[in-house]
Structure 1
Amino acid sequence: MTEKWTTATIPGQHGRVAVVTGANTGLGFETAKALAERGASVVLAVRNVEKGRQAAARMTGDVTVQALDLTSLDSVRTAAAALRSRYERIDLLINNAGVMYTPKQTTRDGYEMQFGTNHLGHFALTGLLLDRLLPVPGSRVVTVSSTGHRIRAAIHFDDLHWQRSYSRAGAYGQSKLANLMFTYELQRRLAVHGTTVAVAAHPGLSSTELVRNSPAALRLPLTALAPLITQTPAMGALPTLRAATDPAVLGGQYYGPGGRFEIKGHPRLVTSSAGSYEVAVQQRLWAVSEDLTGVTFPSAATAAKAAR
């Protein structure tokens, strides 16, 4: 295996369909662009369709745009229905889109914005599209988390939507922890039939628009120090791309930058916080997520039947 994994390492993706959320800018753009260049048919699933079209025009290959607003479960259902009608199979679902450190606000369904967008929206989208992945050998669900999952690392079941006392960083950390717990529980459920796997990744500290909602006291130092402590979106996308395409990847793994403190560098296998591996909490979060979204995933028997 090449020590420094790059986009040049990506195997040919011809004949594969990849859906990438939040693909009009930043990490999602670089992820989609690299997959398209390697031959995949790529869907940019984005909130702003016009920006999605502009992004697609900057890519080469088979690239289309699908409207998707993760802050609205109605939009998620509409997008999933459109994708299901267009594609009999999906090889890669990359849950990349996200918001960070937003002021206190809610999604259209009344859920805390970061938890609702980063976790619940992707949970629902995955459940609604999963039967398009299950029959496809080598298919993957890749969900992008963050080192921020260690911030106040807990799922606050007693106040999931931070109604009593809001913390931008705490809510973000909860949403990114939820991304990992979702991945690990999804992999446990997928393992019964062995065709589709769930993998997680994080970009380290990348220079993207994601920090635009950060308080000025944090945003300004990050901006000033960016050349020293951050990496480009193209580098930040590499862990996601490796999780999505490296033949050696196994379900339930987590990829991030290989440099010191996982801030930047070429992608490698990493580990998440000890709390993220707590099975009972993963299963409780799953049940709560099904209840909040109204989306129930295919059962093991359904999955096995779809895989035949």
Structure 2
Amino acid sequence: MTRDGWTAADVPRLDGQTVVVTGANSGLGYQATRAFVHRGAHVVMACRDMERGEDARRELTSSRPSGALELQKLDLADLGSVRTFAETFADIHDRLDILCNNAGVMAIPRSETADGFETQFGVNHLGHFALTGLLFDQFTGDGARVVTQSSSMHEAGEIDFDDLQSEESYDKWEAYAESKLANLLFAYELQRRLDDEGIEHVRSIGCHPGYAATNLQYRGPEAKGSTVRKAAMAVANATLAQSAEWGALPMLYAATEDVPGGSYVGPGGLMNMRGYPEVQESSERSDDEVTAGRLWRVSEELTGVEYDFEALADAPGE
């Protein structure tokens, strides 16, 4: 299940496969995109900031990959943007092989998405829930994967259905942990529903990067205008974190290796913060099927997106 010393060099050839990576212009998404496109995949870079996305696409293209890069706008904080992205994808492509639900925000002051959701819950969970559902009928090829990026912080998370949008009380780290727990509850519930419908050609897998140095850690301090916290984060990243390239390995492993659906992949080194990817155990709360089922129903109501499992079951992998 886990190979010692697995790196991006072990990603198999992906010629003819189409991959979507959210947040592909920086950090973990950029490194995953690099690995996918250099193994022959057609990668759709789903980015909120098109200027930064184009800079990243140009830089990756200059490295002469064997695959192709396509840039499309996706703002997970706006369900209208999510729908437009899915419609555009379906107009251009006839199938999707790998979806990496990677983009996210972390520990920011409370704000709301275009649809009135608390931003961390709205972007990290609801945006990806909607995106996956709207792309669901594109998973027609054999061995399709939905890989959802969580965090070790999910262990501190708890789903508060009485205050899901943190309107009564807001703590930036509690909200982040809740959104990352929601990511895993979603990933596992999706696999259970695939199993219940006998859909074997699609797998849903959760992952986490450990402690990886990316721009994500700076967004909270920048949003609050805290130069002291930003400097402290820079020191922590330099002394404790592994690189974004290493942080992307669990996502790559989950997307391309023979990992069972419903698995959780993370770095196997010091305190699961760094090292080579391996299949791990997540928290007891992440395995709560009652909470997962309720969260799924609430997510359908909030986003207006329902998954057509019956149709996908009638379109088996090729």
The interval holding the TM-score normalised by the smaller chain is: over 0.9
Q: Is contact 1:103-1:213 (8 Å) kept?
A: no
Query: What one-letter code is carried by the residue in structure 2 that aligns with 1:305?
Result: D
SS in 2 for 1:180: helix
Residue among 153, 159, 162 paired with 1:158: 162
Between the aligned partners of 1:207 and 1:263, the Cα distance in structure 2 is 11
Task: Quote how far apart the aligned CAs of 1:189 are.
Answer: 1.1
Rounded to whole Å, the distance in 1 between the matches of 2:232 and 2:57 is: 33
- Aligned AA for 1:45? A
Q: CA–CA distance in 1 between the matches of 2:268 and 2:148?
A: 18
Match of 1:180 in 2: 184
How far the C-alpha of 1:91 sits from its partner, in A, is 0.2
- One-letter amino acid of the counterpart of residue 222, structure 1: M
Equivalent position of 2:290 in the other structure:
280
Task: Choose from 222, 226, 232 the match for 2:243.
Answer: 232
* Distance in 1 separating the partners of 2:193 and 2:57: 34
Residue 305 of structure 1 pairs with residue 314 of structure 2 = yes
The residue type paired with residue 292 of structure 1 is: L
- Residue 272 of structure 2 aligns with an amino acid whose one-letter code is E
CA contact (8 A) 1:22 1:98 kept: yes
Q: Is the 8 A contact 1:71 1:107 kept in 2?
A: yes
Residue number in structure 1 paired with 2:68: 62
Structure 2 counterpart of 1:261, from 271, 279, 283: 271
- Listed one character per residue, the Cα deviations across residues 178-229 of structure 1 (whole Å, up to 9, x for unaligned) are 0000000000111222010000110111110101133557544332132221
Pairing 1:222–2:223 present: no
What is the alpha-carbon distance in structure 1 between the residues aligned to residue 25 and residue 220 of structure 2?
Answer: 21
CA shift for structure 1 position 53: 1.2
Residue in 1 that maps onto 2:171 = 167
What's the CA shift string for 1:37-74, capped at 9, x where partnerless? Answer: 00000000000112111111111330010100000000
The normalised TM-score by structure 1 is 0.96
Q: Does 1:4 align with 2:13?
A: no
* Amino acid in structure 2 at the alignment position of 1:298: D
Structure 2 CA distance for aligned equivalents of residues 288 and 52 of structure 1: 32
Match status 1:78 vs 2:106: no
Give SS of 1:136's match.
coil
Partner amino acid for 2:305? V
Mapped pair 1:245 → 2:251: no
Length-normalised TM-score, structure 2: 0.93
CA distance in 2, matches of 1:295, 1:174: 21
The residue that corresponds to 2:151 in the other structure is: 146
Answering whether residue 221 of structure 2 is matched by residue 212 of structure 1, we say no
User: Contact 2:148–2:207 at 8 Å: present in 1 too?
Assistant: yes
Check the 8 A contact 2:218/2:233 in 1, yes or no.
no
How far apart in 2 are the matches of 1:298 and 1:232?
38
Give the match for residue 39 of structure 1. 40
Equivalent pairs, count: 304
Write the distance in 2 (CA, Å) between the matches of 1:236 and 1:96: 12
CA contact (8 A) 2:44 2:71 kept: yes
C-alpha distance in 1 between matches for 2:262 and 2:87: 27
Instruction: Answer whether contact 2:43 2:70 (CA < 8 A) is retained.
Output: yes
Partner of residue 53, structure 2: 52
Do structure 1's residue 189 and structure 2's residue 159 form an aligned pair? no
Runs (4+) off by over 4 Å: 215-219
Q: Give how far 1:239 is off.
A: 0.3
**Shift in Å, 1:249:** 0.7
**Equivalent position to 2:141, from 136, 141, 145:** 136
Which residue identity lines up with residue 277 of structure 2 in the other structure?
P
Partner SS state of residue 70, structure 2: strand
Deviation, structure 1 residue 148 = 1.1
Q: Report sequence identity in percent.
A: 45
Cα distance between partner residues in 1 of 2:253 and 2:21: 14
CA distance in 2 between partners of 1:52 and 1:30 (Å): 13
Give, in whole Å, the separation in 2 of the partners of 1:224 and 1:188: 41
